[in-house]
């Protein structure tokens, strides 16, 4: 059978054990990191508190949350301000939470600003890590980057539960964000690269389901485990199975072909054929097609640098990466798509995280609120697939903004279909980069409201 490109190889491979291992490993990771990203809701929640007066020996006339006023002595003529003292310890309402970062480190009153910083540092980490994700995954491989990033993300969360210093916890939180967002993008890409074309749109939607189930899992964990350290420890458990699967699966054959590693690509394709129980063309024919695919790829320049051992200094690499980003603005049509996607990602991220962190503001049960939020996302990822197949991605996306906020997270997968193949990773990476602006602002808005 004559093969025109790698998609024809994927059509032969079909759907089987080989593809499913990619989807399951990505699903486990998305399921796990929902807890990491939404940790703000249970680890540093807004908790009702009162000034603890048990250590105050002077008589007190007025008690507020952050200050108290010592009863005025008739001997002295002093103002109320001079008699006002700041609270140094507090009593916290344990109706929903027993031990949180908020109560453990007294993140109230003058230190209340540190609460949203806990969420800010993970999004700043994503802000830093996301733009270089496309470059790193194209250079070192999809699976390799996802494995390394997943290890760092999971173990930075685990180590943070052992820390007793708030600064250390925030630094580890930054590294969680630095690796979590790139891993989720790379995992999504490798899943699409292992999927035959006819199933790609549906798969892109269904890959959001693990996040929805992870949100439900996080709400249930929060209800059962009241200590933030054990809560985060337990939340990492599904991630270990994900790491085991990432060790088993092979590198993306498409990336191996484009990067010139044809022997490894052939081995991976043969392995896929064996696992999916299909008959593939001969090795000679596959090698011929791989050379043709590599030659037609726009990533040929990267391959030539690798083969020719052309070593670029750091400055040149940074400039090349910036040039790759500016490709997204090279034509009027691409500029329009890019700008609209950036705006959509900022707004969607702001609304999604704002709603996710607002249970206390709405005076609702924070655990049931999270669980219901996850349940509401399930139809957004599953029932809309036939609609998108019929109407197309862009009309559906426009309509979803006016119909229901339930479709917000669907926008995370739009760039994979809207952007041309040659700039898909740059488009997805930079769009997610801008989405972090919304997630950075969200906790401060919920704090003020």
SS3 290: helix
Going by C-beta distance under 8 Å and a sequence separation of 6 or more, which residues neighbour residue 73? none
Q: How many CA atoms lie within 13 A of 18 on its CB side?
A: 25
31 and 76 housed in the same domain: no
> The tokens of 140 are what?
């070192």
User: What is the predicted pLDDT for the residue at 2?
Assistant: 41
The torsion angles phi and psi of 81, rounded to 5 degrees, stand at -60, -35
Tokens 């279909």 identify what position?
Answer: 417
Number of domains, the chain = 2
Q: Which two tokens stand for residue 109?
A: 């009153």
Is residue 351 one of the residues assigned to a domain?
A: yes
Same-domain status, 206 and 318 = yes
Give me the torsion for CA of 263, 266, 271, 277, rounded to 10°: -160
**Which of 92, 125, 150 represents a domain boundary (last residue)?**
92
How many C-beta atoms surround the C-beta of residue 199 within 10 A? 15
The reported pLDDT for the residue numbered 303 is: 42
Mark whether 157 and 283 lie in a shared domain.
yes
Cα separation of the two ends of the chain: 63
Per the structure, the complete domain to which residue 394 belongs is given by 6-45+114-448
DSSP 126-169: HHHHHHHHHHHHHHH-HHHHHHHHHHHHHHHHHHHTT---HHHH
CA-CA-CA-CA dihedral for 179, 185, 189, 195, to nearest 10: 110
In a domain, 273, yes or no: yes
Residue 234 shares a structural domain with residue 183: yes
The Cβ of residue 154 has, within 10 Å, a number of other Cβ atoms equal to 26
CA 317 – CA 254 distance, rounded (Å): 23
Residue 311's pLDDT is 46
Rounded to an integer, what distance in angstroms lies between the CA atom of residue 104 and that of residue 99? 7
Q: pTM for this one?
A: 0.74
Query: What pLDDT is stored for residue 432 in this prediction?
Result: 66
Q: Which residues of the chain have pLDDT under 50?
A: 1-4, 75, 299-314, 401, 404-413, 415-416
Q: Could you give the CA distance from residue 10 to residue 447 in angstroms, rounded to a whole number?
A: 49
For residue 190, being part of any structural domain is answered with yes
In a domain? residue 354: yes
């Amino acid at each position: 059978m004559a093969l025109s490109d790698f998609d024809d190889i994927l059509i032969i491979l079909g759907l089987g054990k080989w593809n499913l291992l990619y989807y399951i490993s990505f699903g486990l990771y998305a399921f796990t990191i929902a807890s990491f990203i939404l940790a703000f809701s249970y680890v540093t929640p807004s908790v009702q508190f009162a000034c603890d007066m048990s250590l105050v020996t002077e008589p007190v006339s007025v008690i507020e949350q952050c200050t108290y006023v010592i009863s005025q002595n008739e001997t002295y003529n002093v103002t109320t301000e001079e008699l006002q003292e700041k609270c140094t310890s507090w009593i916290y309402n344990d109706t929903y939470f027993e031990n949180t970062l908020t109560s453990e480190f007294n993140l109230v009153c003058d230190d209340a600003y540190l609460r949203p910083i806990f969420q800010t540092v993970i999004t700043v980490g994503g802000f830093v890590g996301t733009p270089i994700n496309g470059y790193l995954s194209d250079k070192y491989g999809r699976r390799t980057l996802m494995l390394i990033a997943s290890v760092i993300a999971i173990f930075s969360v685990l180590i943070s539960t052992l820390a007793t210093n708030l600064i250390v916890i925030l630094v580890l939180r930054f590294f969680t964000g630095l690796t979590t967002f790139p891993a989720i993008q790379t995992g999504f890409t490798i899943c699409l690269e292992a999927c035959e074309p006819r199933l790609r749109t549906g798969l892109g939607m269904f890959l959001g389901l693990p996040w929805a189930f992870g949100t439900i899992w996080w709400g249930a964990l929060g209800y059962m485990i009241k200590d933030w350290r054990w809560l985060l420890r337990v939340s990492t458990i599904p991630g270990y199975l994900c790491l085991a699967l990432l060790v088993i699966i092979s590198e993306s054959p498409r990336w191996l072909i484009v990067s010139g590693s044809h022997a490894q690509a052939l081995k991976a394709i043969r392995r896929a054929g064996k696992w999916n129980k299909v008959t593939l063309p001969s090795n000679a024919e596959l090698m011929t097609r791989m050379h043709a695919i590599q030659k037609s790829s726009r990533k040929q320049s990267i391959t030539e640098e690798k083969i020719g051992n052309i070593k670029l200094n750091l400055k040149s690499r940074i400039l090349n990466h910036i040039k790759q980003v500016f490709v997204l603005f090279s034509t009027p049509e691409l500029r329009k798509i890019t700008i609209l996607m950036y705006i959509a990602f900022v707004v969607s991220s702001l609304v999604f995280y704002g709603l996710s962190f607002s249970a206390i503001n709405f005076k609702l049960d924070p655990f049931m609120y999270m669980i219901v939020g996850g349940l509401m996302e399930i139809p957004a990822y599953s029932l809309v697939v036939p609609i998108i197949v019929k109407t197309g991605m862009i009309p559906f996306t426009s309509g979803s903004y006016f119909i229901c906020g339930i479709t917000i997270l669907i926008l995370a997968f739009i760039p994979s279909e809207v952007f041309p193949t040659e700039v898909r990773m740059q488009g997805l990476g930079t769009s997610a980069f801008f989405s972090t602006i919304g997630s950075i602002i969200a906790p401060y808005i919920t704090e003020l409201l």
